[in-house]
Homo-oligomer: A and B are copies of this chain.
Amino acid sequence: MPVVRVEMWTGRTHAQKQELARVITEAMVNIAHTTPEATIVIFEDIPKENWAQSGTLASDMET
């Protein structure tokens, strides 16, 4: 039953999403006592120019 939505900056690889989906699902099953089949994980890739903190777009920050 749980739906987990992960918003991150664009740039995570396929392998990272695979690993995140696996570990988050495992956490939901072990801790929240749901089943793997019932656990949906959705990734949303947010471009840096669509994400702001402290009033500044991430694409405008020097990192």
Where the two chains meet, the residues of A that have a C-beta atom closer than 8 Å to any C-beta of B are 1-9, 12, 14, 16-28, 31-32, 34, 36-37, 39-46, 49-60
Q: Are A3 and B7 in contact (CB under 8 A)?
A: yes
Q: A28 to chain B: which residues have CB within 8 Å?
A: 6, 8, 20
Knowing that A7-B42, A20-B32 are A-B contacts, what are 13 other residue pairs whose CB atoms are under 8 Å apart, sorted by A's residue number? Answer: A1-B8, A1-B53, A2-B8, A3-B42, A21-B56, A21-B57, A24-B24, A25-B55, A36-B54, A36-B55, A37-B54, A40-B51, A44-B50
- Distance in angstroms between the alpha carbons of A44 and B51 in the assembled complex: 9
* Chain copies in complex: 6
Q: A32 to chain B: which residues have CB within 8 Å?
A: 8, 12, 16, 20
